[in-house]
Structures are given as structure tokens and as C-alpha cells.
């Protein structure tokens, strides 16, 4: 303690700039050292927390990127399948047209065209009748004696 008192008395006699320079190179007190260690621990914990957040953000971004890549690959595969199906249909249509055009007469060509349709026809299942037509059809169906369809 005697050394400590002599140092502090020497520091008191110095001007503020000299005292600051002297204290900058002197050994810190135990209390100041514990404060610095606690501050260092908080800074390290904060940096580790930030790094873990960045890793979480990067993994989430990488997961999103993988999901988008998978969706893109699936769309490309569907497109390739659609193109192959369309190519097959075109080849089939060309072959049928060639067979129809090579028939010896028009009657055979028409018959073959009816047997081998070039394009598959899609059936429209929507109701094409109005209320009056529907009422008339229901009336005909309910008529057991055939009075509504008999010719006079």
C-alpha cells in the first residue's frame, strides 16, 4: 500500500495531461479489470448472437433458393412432357392425314377419316338448351301415351 500511496501522491502533483499519460501505462485496478472482462464477454456474446442470426438467415435464404430451384425444375419437366405429347400428336396427325390422302377414292378416304379422327374432339358438357326447350323435353319424357309427339 505504501507504493500505491506514493504513486497516487505523485499523480496528484502532476498536471492533468501528464497524469493521463502516466495512468495510461500504469496497471489497472482489480475493479476496472473485472469491468473490462464483463464488457468483453458482453461484446463476444453479442457478436456470437449476430453470427447465429446471420447463419439462420443464410439457411432460410438457401432453403428458399432450393425450393424455388425445385419448382423451376418441376415446371421445366412438365413443359418437356407437354412438348413431347404435342410432338407425338402432331406425328400421329400427319400419319393419319397421309393415310387418308393415299386412299384410292373419295369414299374410302371419307370412311377412313371417320374411323380415324385426326384430332380428338372435346365434348362440351355445358347445357345448350334454354328453359323453353328444357320444359318441352321434360313434357315429352313425362308423356307416357305419346300424345305430345303424335302427328295430327
Return the closest-CA partner of residue 113 out of 126, 125, 99. Answer: 99
Please give the chain's pLDDT, 152 residues, in tens.
444 445 556 666 788 888 888 877 778 788 888 988 999 999 999 999 998 888 888 888 888 899 999 999 999 999 999 999 999 999 999 998 899 899 998 888 888 888 887 676 666 677 778 888 888 888 888 887 777 666 54
Q: What residues contact residue 22 under an 8 Å CB cut-off, 6+ apart?
A: 10, 11, 14
Place of cell 499519460: 21
Residue (of 105, 143, 100, 132) closest to 118 by Cα position: 100
pLDDT at 69: 93
Residue carrying the nine cell digits 500500500: 1
Note the pLDDT of residue 151.
55
- Rounded CA gap, 5 and 27, in Å? 14
In this predicted structure, what is the pLDDT of residue 152? Answer: 47
Selection from 9, 52, 4 nearest residue 26 by Cα: 4
**pTM of the shown model:** 0.42
C-alpha span between 52 and 75 (Å, rounded): 35
The pLDDT value given to residue 74: 94
Scored b (16 or more CB within 10 A) or e, 88-108 reads eeeeeeeebeeebeeeeeeee
Amino acid at each position: 500500500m505504501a507504493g500505491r500511496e506514493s504513486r497516487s501522491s505523485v499523480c496528484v502533483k502532476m498536471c492533468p495531461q501528464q497524469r493521463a499519460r502516466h495512468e495510461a501505462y500504469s496497471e489497472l485496478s482489480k475493479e476496472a479489470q473485472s469491468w473490462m472482462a464483463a464488457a468483453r464477454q458482453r461484446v463476444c456474446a453479442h457478436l456470437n448472437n449476430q453470427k447465429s442470426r446471420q447463419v439462420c438467415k443464410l439457411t432460410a435464404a438457401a432453403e428458399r433458393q432450393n425450393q424455388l430451384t425445385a419448382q423451376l425444375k418441376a415446371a421445366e419437366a412438365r413443359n418437356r412432357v407437354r412438348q413431347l405429347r404435342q410432338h407425338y400428336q402432331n406425328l400421329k396427325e400427319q400419319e393419319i392425314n397421309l393415310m387418308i390422302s393415299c386412299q384410292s377414292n373419295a369414299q374410302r378416304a371419307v370412311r377412313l377419316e371417320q374411323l380415324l379422327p385426326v384430332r380428338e374432339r372435346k365434348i362440351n358438357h355445358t347445357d345448350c338448351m334454354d328453359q323453353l326447350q328444357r320444359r318441352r323435353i321434360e313434357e315429352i319424357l313425362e308423356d307416357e301415351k305419346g300424345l305430345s309427339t303424335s302427328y295430327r
